[in-house]
């Protein structure tokens, strides 16, 4: 097995590196990666992003939102979290999460942590989850990746993954939230995240007989290209979401209450209706016609409304507040 370090702390770049290793490197070899992301929410392939994140909080705190190749639920990453990836032949290990989780549990137990594999794809300490795992299988190969919450900010985690009160009806897979814990408080002897990563790396390399791959094996320009074409795009991270309907209701001073009901497919507004006790000078049908087929993101809405006065349709409402209502 060959070891590949992460590509810094940028979530889209690290997920692009995973895909590059899976798709481009020698299929006769197995690979292991340890990597970290700065603040990010990573959603499962089959999830509705809007139903998984607290959009206003995520935006205000500059948290990246990226969709991964594998299924499963949404997870929060920060620099107190450590991610591991194994890429190998799937024969004999297809959706066998324990095969790849066992060496991680073994490493943690060497540090005095009472870790264990729980259910299908979690690892826990005293019944509290510290690791979620997911797998992507294609053409006889498996990518298994998991999180280790070592010293994550659990308050930010709970805020970023706390969905707003908007009513969302979606066919996408919904995350199941469990009681969570960090690993660090359970160590027999305290250490920082970097020291923990060094210990984990050494343990995993010993378990799997791992060799460090020559740096020239990775074409970082190709990895960056995958990042820009896939993992940094709104179309993949939001537009790929399954079709869903959403109802948003807000009260604005000097305007009144506005309720927006939307049906979204492929990330685009398919149906839209407004209700409330606001006043208007023009028929809302004109505004709705402009927005049908538009991507549900700030940039696209700003472009669609460039020549429009929102105040004509919702008296005293500014364009920014209207966009925040529809998107936020």
The whole-angstrom separation of Cα 139 and Cα 280 is 57
**8 Å CB contact between 121 and 133:** yes
DSSP-assigned states of every residue in 29-85: S-EEEEE--SSEEEE-TTS-GGGTS-HHHHHHTT-EEEE-SS-S--EEE-TTEEEEE
Ramachandran angles phi, psi of 150, nearest 5°: -90, -50
Q: Please name each of the domains of the chain with its CATH number.
A: 2-239 (3.30.930.10), 244-327 (3.30.390.50)
- Tell me the HSE value of 159 on the side-chain side, using a 13 A CA sphere: 14
pLDDT tens by residue, 153-205: 999 999 999 766 666 666 555 655 568 999 999 999 999 999 999 999 999 99
pTM score of the predicted model = 0.84
State pLDDT tens for residues 118-141: 877 889 999 999 999 999 988 889
Q: Going by DSSP bridges, is the β-strand pair 211-212/244-252 parallel, antiparallel, or unpaired?
A: unpaired
Average pLDDT by consecutive 10-residue portion of the chain (328 residues)? Answer: 93 98 93 97 91 90 96 93 94 72 93 90 92 90 95 94 69 64 96 94 90 88 97 93 89 93 92 92 92 94 94 94 91
Query: Containing H/E element for 147?
Result: strand 141-149
Contacts of 28 (CB under 8 A, 6+ apart): none
Question: What are the beta bridge partners of residue 122?
Answer: 118, 132
* DSSP type of residue 230: I
Q: What percent of the chain has pLDDT over 70?
A: 94
């Amino acid at each position: 097995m060959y070891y590949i370090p992460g590509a810094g702390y940028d979530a889209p770049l690290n997920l692009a590196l995973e895909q590059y290793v899976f798709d481009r490197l020698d299929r006769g070899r197995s690979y292991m990666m340890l990597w970290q992301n700065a603040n990010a929410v990573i959603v499962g392939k089959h999830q509705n992003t809007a139903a998984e994140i607290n959009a206003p909080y995520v935006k205000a705190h500059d948290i990246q939102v990226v969709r991964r190749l594998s299924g499963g639920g949404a997870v929060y990453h920060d620099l107190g979290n450590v991610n591991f990836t194994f890429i190998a032949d799937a024969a004999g290990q297809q959706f066998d999460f324990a095969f790849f989780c066992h060496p991680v549990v073994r490493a943690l137990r060497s540090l005095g942590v009472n870790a264990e594999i729980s259910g299908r794809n979690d690892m826990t300490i005293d019944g509290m989850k510290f690791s979620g795992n997911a797998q992507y299988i294609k053409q006889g190969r498996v990518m298994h990746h998991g999180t280790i919450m070592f010293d994550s900010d659990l308050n930010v985690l709970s805020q970023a993954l706390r969905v707003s009160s908007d009513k969302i009806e979606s066919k996408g897979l919904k995350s199941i939230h469990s009681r969570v814990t960090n690993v660090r408080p359970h160590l027999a002897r305290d250490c920082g995240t970097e020291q923990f990563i060094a210990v984990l790396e050494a343990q995993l390399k010993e378990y799997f007989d791992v060799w460090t791959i020559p740096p020239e094996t990775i074409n970082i320009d190709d990895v960056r290209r995958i990042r820009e074409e896939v993992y940094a795009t709104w179309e993949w991270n939001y537009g790929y979401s399954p079709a869903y309907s959403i109802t948003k209701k807000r009260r604005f001073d000097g305007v009144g209450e506005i309720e927006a009901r939307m049906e979204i497919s492929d990330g685009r507004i398919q149906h839209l209706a407004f209700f409330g006790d606001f006043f208007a000078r023009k028929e809302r049908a004109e505004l709705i016609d402009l927005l049908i087929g538009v991507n549900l993101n700030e940039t696209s809405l700003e472009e669609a409304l460039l020549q429009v006065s929102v105040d004509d349709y919702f008296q005293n409402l500014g364009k920014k507040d209207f966009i925040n209502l529809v998107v936020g």
